[in-house]
Structures are given as structure tokens and as C-alpha cells.
Amino acid sequence: MAGGKKAKNMGKTAKGKVKETTGKAVGNESLAMKGRAEQAEGDVKQATEKVKDAFKR
């Protein structure tokens, strides 16, 4: 997996976690949901890259 893509996907997951936590702390359910969605998107992209790597070998 390209290092840049891996870091970008992990960054998206981390950013989503921060949004979710912030949303919960201030009682903003919309922000919390956006954070969860962003985490899921990062996780899916990460898994996709792993599958691509598996087929390259």
C-alpha cells in the first residue's frame, strides 16, 4: 500500500473520531454522526487498499 494513501486514510479515521467525540461532548448529534461517517469512510478505504495489495502479490 502506498504510504501516502495509508496515512491519508488513517488521518480521515482520526479526524472522524475527533468530530464524533467533540459532537458528543457539546451535545451536537449532527457533528457526532458526521464523525462516525468519516471514520467509516476511512476504514473502508483502508480495507480497499489492503485488498488491492493482496492481489498485487
Give pLDDT, residue 12: 92
pTM of the model: 0.80
Cα separation values, 44 from 2, 14, 47, Å? 16, 14, 5
Tally of residues, the chain: 57
Confidence of residue 4 (pLDDT cuts 50, 70, 90): confident
Confidence of residue 1 (pLDDT cuts 50, 70, 90): very low
Q: What is the pLDDT of residues 10-50, one digit of tens each?
A: 999 999 999 999 999 999 999 999 999 999 999 999 999 88
Give pLDDT, residue 34: 97
